[in-house]
Structure 1
Amino acid sequence: MSRFKKRHFEALKDPQVAYLSPLAVIAHIDLDAFYAQCEQIRLGLSREDPVVCRQWNSIIAVSYAARKFGISRIESITSAKQKCPQLICPHVATYKKGTTHWDWYEEPNPAEYKVSLDPFRSESRKILKVFKNYCPWAEKASIDEMFLDLGPFIYREALRYFDELSEDAIGHLAADDPLPALPIIPEHVRWTGKVYGSPPKPSDWDDVFFMLASMYLDKIRQALLDEMGYTSSAGLAVNKFMAKLGSGMNKPNNQTIVPNSSIQEFLTEFSIKDFWGLGGKYGQRIIDSFNVPEQGSIPYLRNFSVQQLQEKLGDEEGTKLYNLLRGISASEITARIDIKTMQSVKQFGSKGVKTLEDCKQWLRVYSADLRNRVFDLDAETSTIRRPKRITIGYRLYRDKTSIHHDKQMQCPSLQSKSLEPDEFLEELYRLSVELLQQVIDTSEHAFFPCSMLSLSLGSFESASNNVIEGFFQKGTKTNKLKEDFKIINTNDSNDNNNDEDDSEDDLFVSDSESQLKCSRCGLTLEATKMGEHNDWHYAKDLQQGLTGSLSIPSSKPTKRPQSSNRKPPSPNKKSRNDQSIFKFFTKN
């Protein structure tokens, strides 16, 4: 008999809960050197041509052909050409000051031009469309990354290949009854790609499902190559966290499968700072708190009990880290894009802009940039959403001191869904000039020279009656499961947040204005904290509803916790309970 239960398999057919099953199959696809590939394809070059994508005199992407010459993103164009005289160095698209359309210019001057990411966003949308043709349960993680939930596909494929899983064979089983033992696997069902460790002989249904998924994932990536010319790398695992780590392991143009039996060993290949969301200050806080060595950080941190982690990090963060160190995570694939702000900005350096006319010309560029992104988002999400406010931000340098302020105003005239793109641009430009004049008139300091100027749109609301919030139909049974096992962004990361920023340095900025109410305990928290709070609930549900429950084995046995009926703590309150996660479903 299998160690998996009937309900684990049945869950795969429902996209809203498939990711919670121990049989879940999640893919992460990462485009190889995306910006460089975009330019290579635009210029009709081959993958053997050394290409870098240039912004002013800096390199922002390096093709794999160029990397063979030792070229990296941290060097200048001059240095790169010394290493490879035949290097092809196209500049990213730019807006010329005062214009409303970007173009590709040979040698744009940063004082008179602003970078446009529109061509890359356009290609990203086309790529996502290709993926959705093969797997509608797709989530855009960033401009060059997508997640796919292959669970529903695997459910159908399993029924097609294996009579042992048909309704006739298992329909009489109770939800908690084990699945049948593995039959003989058809010869054409095989591992496709690189399997971490060595390709295991299938021992249970999870291995077979990974084999089926690896074949289909390879087909999806090949379709992208055939249709658009892009190579990609992918990871395949039981959750988004593991799949993302896997996609970067065998670049370029390859895919890595992480079987459940290999998770613990696989994670030792990485540093704690490689973990999704732990590369910045929070990751450094963990390193400092536990004196983590540079080498072997994962096995080292696994030696700490959940209580010890919670003592330093708090209940929610300690539990989250304890689980991540063991590859345990659960985060839904969702197509929802809830943009809160969009920003267009340019840094002008120490000299700054010196006249109102200069600022107005840049505001015209910003208005065009934001117009494009607003209407592109409409097309991408099949939803018309418009901003309620605009904001002018600026930075001045006076007496060696940086002064940064912003001013906002409501913009009801932009909320009409009847505005055509050019009408939206002109109205946004008019409002931005009006707001800038207010800024200049009320500034406590002389406004010119101004070293940074930005225009933002915020408080987006639906302007359409046929809003598509997601691609799943709601159902009573599914909602019941989601209520019991709701997990929101257990992998908090800036890879897929709710804001857009065209700062020429970063694509995204964070925003934590919104608050969410926990559906289980009623506690209201900032949205950015809700994922960790749900981890706490998940840990409290340890092994309930799963007699002989499945769990990913840890490198060190832990004490089984005693049940508790106490209420969940506030974000700052600490708990001493030993906690782990991986509760999937309760009995109805």
Structure 2
Amino acid sequence: MADSVDRPASPSKGKGKLKDFSSEFDDLDPVVTYRHIFSPTIGPKHPLRVVALCDCNAFYANCEQVRLGIDPEKPLVVAQWGMLIAVNYPAREFGISRMDKPHEAVKRCKDLIVVHVATYAEGELEPKYHEKPDAKTHKISLDLYRRECIKVVNTYKESLIGGEIEKASIDESFIDFSIPVRDELLRRFPHLKDVPLDAPQGIDTPLPSPPSSVEWPENGNLVPIDPSKFDPSDKTLTTEQVIEAEKDLIPTWHDVCLSIAAELMSRMRKAVFERLGYYTTAGIGRNKFLAKLAASYRKRNTQNILRNSAIPGFLKPMPFQKIRNLGGKLGKALAEEFDAATVGDLLSVDLDEMQRKFGESAIWVYEVLRGIDRSEVKEKPAINKSMLASKNLPNPLSSTAEGPHWIKMLTSELAIRLHEARELTPGLWPKTISLHICEGWSDRKSKQAPFPSPRTVTIDLVLGEAMKLWNEMCKEGWRKGMKITHMGVSFHGITWAEEGQRAIETFLMAAPSRPVLTKDRARSVSVGVRDTSVEPARDVDIDDDSSYSFTCPRCKKEVSVPRKTLAECRNVSGENGDLASELQGNALAALKQEHEDFHFAQDLMRENRPIITNNTASGSGSPKRPVKKQKKGGQASEPAGIAKFFIQKGKT
């Protein structure tokens, strides 16, 4: 049976326009069924969806306050050259904002603490806090804030099981509480776990009534349903006052979910403060858009809860140009076309009329004004595909000799960032390195080259590769009177490779006089495949290297598993002696296989035969690699190691 209310269709390309709503706001109290409760996923249209935005308060200033051990109630600002990029809340009480210059801010507050961001200087391998950094010779570094941002997000993840976290910016994260809240809801209300036998519609039967009252956390702000009942300038309005004014309100199951999410959010914010010392503000609502707006309701170390029933009263008086993506040309055009200033002014505009004036973008505007947001909370990949260090040059470069000064700083920053990324995700490495220069703001040139793969990050390595590009660029395109106003060095194609992984070319190189197993290669120990033909004695001390070595029948060389690898196996296994022996046995098996691959690659190179078939594997010209005999009643064993990439099965 169709709903009595004509609901909008989902936007889709080429499908025309949406149907109009019969009311200004849709689904403020949707029907929740057992099917919704049992759903394995909770998407944007789910009636019990709960999303939060957590924002670190004055993040850069808070980072510096923690680094310096300064009382958080002291006014502090962070400067970058001649402007402020962060102002803490005590400083804001003096009327200081990011629009002020540092010297102007000091006039407003004589006790103001001004911290300039760290900078790179020539000859220094790391950024430092210089007393008087100069934009003509130094480069800013935001590395501290990037590192602290990662710590904050990791703390969120450790404090929440089953939720989704999306880093929105360096100081903001969206958190989808829907799944953990649903799980907690079923734990607190076990009668919801089973569909009643007499349910008239089976699994599609609506849930029974929620509890008559909801327990809201004390450390939060409840957005009122009717703001007109309260003084908008009253910053002391409490949740208890709001509840008292709305005592006749019947709560919904979504209200219960919001209260549970508020409890979880309180724990996460507490963990961030106790571990890192950072103040946060959170907004909690039914989608990302409303959570973002709710976070701005009351700032500084608090959390704001926006119930569905409070959405109309919260949005209607709001200047719509404050909404993200409505503050530019589109917002100005809407204001002029419909003589509107607030969300409430635009709610009376029919969708047909809005579409005639603004096309398909009207659908998004029409929905967002009514608090509808269909975007999902998705965790972004941990691996950034690129890294960039750049500098707008206050004094344009006019000669090739001036370039190395800035290239050294840029490559130092890149090397440090790549090193830190590899500490979190071992095996990261870029495919290419690029050098960019700009003359003015339009004439842009760049040059790139493959980045070598020694798998060890050093500043000298990055600097050397960047200088090659600089020298090539100068030879090819430098002209008299050239003025470079911008320079950047970047990594691209950053991917993850398993530790110890080697390219195939390394197997086809000429053999050294003595086969050597490097320490880096020795760490590439396979613990997933067990070679039972190599079974070490149990409970053998790692100092006894002979138990984990073998003599090659071809080259007569004795090859041993490095003692460090054996020790690592013992450390991983703890007190489990059997597991330690198994890991060490696997290390020996991997070493044995690698040595066989070494001889096989040598044979390929000498015979100049990159492809061998099973039909000729035992004939003239084939590598002298041992082939396992066919078992009775079975098929021949598959080749092992690198051989399986070169052996092609013959026709039967």
User: Take 2:119 and 2:484, find their aligned partners in 1: how far apart are those partners?
Assistant: 21
User: Take 2:61 and 2:174, find their aligned partners in 1: how far apart are those partners?
Assistant: 22
Q: 1:202 to 1:25 in 2, by over 3 A?
A: farther
Residue 125 of structure 1, CA deviation: 0.9
The aligned runs of 1:333-372 (5 Å cut-off) are 333-337=377-381, 339-349=384-394, 351-372=395-416
Q: Which one of 355, 358, 362 corresponds to residue 318 of structure 1?
A: 362
User: Take 2:265 and 2:402, find their aligned partners in 1: how far apart are those partners?
Assistant: 50
Question: How many residue pairs are counted as aligned between the two chains?
Answer: 447
| Match status 1:300 vs 2:345 | yes
Corresponding residue for 1:42? 67
User: Take 1:271 and 1:152, find their aligned partners in 2: how far apart are those partners?
Assistant: 33
Residue 171 of structure 1, CA deviation: 12
Residue 445 of structure 1, CA deviation: 4.1
| Match status 1:225 vs 2:270 | no
Maintained 8 Å contact 2:30/2:47 = no
Residue 138 of structure 1, CA deviation: 1.4
| Match status 1:428 vs 2:428 | no
Q: Which one of 114, 123, 145 corresponds to residue 89 of structure 1?
A: 114
| CA displacement, residues 536-579 of structure 1 (integer Å, 9 cap, x when unaligned) | xxxxxxxxxxxxxxxxxxxxxxxxxxxxxxxxxxxxxxxxxxxx
| Match status 1:156 vs 2:183 | yes
Moved over 6 A (4+): 170-173
Residue 320 of structure 1, CA deviation: 1.4
Corresponding residue for 1:166? 193
User: Take 1:445 and 1:411, find their aligned partners in 2: how far apart are those partners?
Assistant: 26
Corresponding residue for 1:452? 486
| CA displacement, residues 438-457 of structure 1 (integer Å, 9 cap, x when unaligned) | 32233374364422211233
State the SS of the aligned residue for 1:421: coil
Residue 185 of structure 1, CA deviation: 4.9
Corresponding residue for 1:394? 437
Identity %: 28
Q: Which one of 196, 213, 219 corresponds to residue 261 of structure 2?
A: 213
User: Take 2:84 and 2:297, find their aligned partners in 1: how far apart are those partners?
Assistant: 23
| CA displacement, residues 387-436 of structure 1 (integer Å, 9 cap, x when unaligned) | 43333222225xxxx552122324252xx4x61221xx433322222222
User: Take 2:272 and 2:145, find their aligned partners in 1: how far apart are those partners?
Assistant: 16
Residue 300 of structure 1, CA deviation: 2.4
Corresponding residue for 2:474? 440
Residue 191 of structure 1, CA deviation: 6.6
The aligned runs of 1:282-301 (5 Å cut-off) are 282-284=330-332, 286-287=334-335, 290-293=337-340, 295-296=341-342, 298-301=343-346
Q: 1:249 to 1:269 in 2, by over 3 A?
A: farther
| Match status 1:141 vs 2:168 | yes
Residue 89 of structure 1, CA deviation: 0.6
Residue 458 of structure 1, CA deviation: 2.9
Maintained 8 Å contact 1:394/1:450 = yes
Q: 1:67 to 1:340 in 2, by over 3 A?
A: same
Give the structure-2-normalised TM-score.
0.64
Bigger mean CA deviation after superposition, 194-203 or 325-334? 194-203
| Match status 1:274 vs 2:310 | no
User: Take 2:406 and 2:80, find their aligned partners in 1: how far apart are those partners?
Assistant: 19
State the SS of the aligned residue for 1:343: strand
Residue 238 of structure 1, CA deviation: 0.4
State the SS of the aligned residue for 1:252: coil
| CA displacement, residues 132-160 of structure 1 (integer Å, 9 cap, x when unaligned) | 11225211111100111111221121112
User: Take 1:29 and 1:273, find their aligned partners in 2: how far apart are those partners?
Assistant: 22
Residue 82 of structure 1, CA deviation: 1.1
Gaps of 5+ in 1: 467-588
Give the structure-1-normalised TM-score.
0.70
Maintained 8 Å contact 2:31/2:47 = no
User: Take 2:121 and 2:170, find their aligned partners in 1: how far apart are those partners?
Assistant: 24
State the SS of the aligned residue for 1:53: strand
Maintained 8 Å contact 1:395/1:405 = yes
Letter aligned with residue 152 of structure 1 = I
User: Take 2:339 and 2:447, find their aligned partners in 1: how far apart are those partners?
Assistant: 45
Gaps of 5+ in 2: 1-28, 225-241, 501-652
User: Take 1:372 and 1:333, find their aligned partners in 2: how far apart are those partners?
Assistant: 30
Q: Which one of 104, 125, 133 corresponds to residue 108 of structure 1?
A: 133
**Structure number, greater radius of gyration:** 2
- Report the RMSD for the aligned CA atoms in angstroms: 2.8
State the SS of the aligned residue for 1:90: strand
Residue 304 of structure 1, CA deviation: 2.4
User: Take 1:270 and 1:116, find their aligned partners in 2: how far apart are those partners?
Assistant: 37
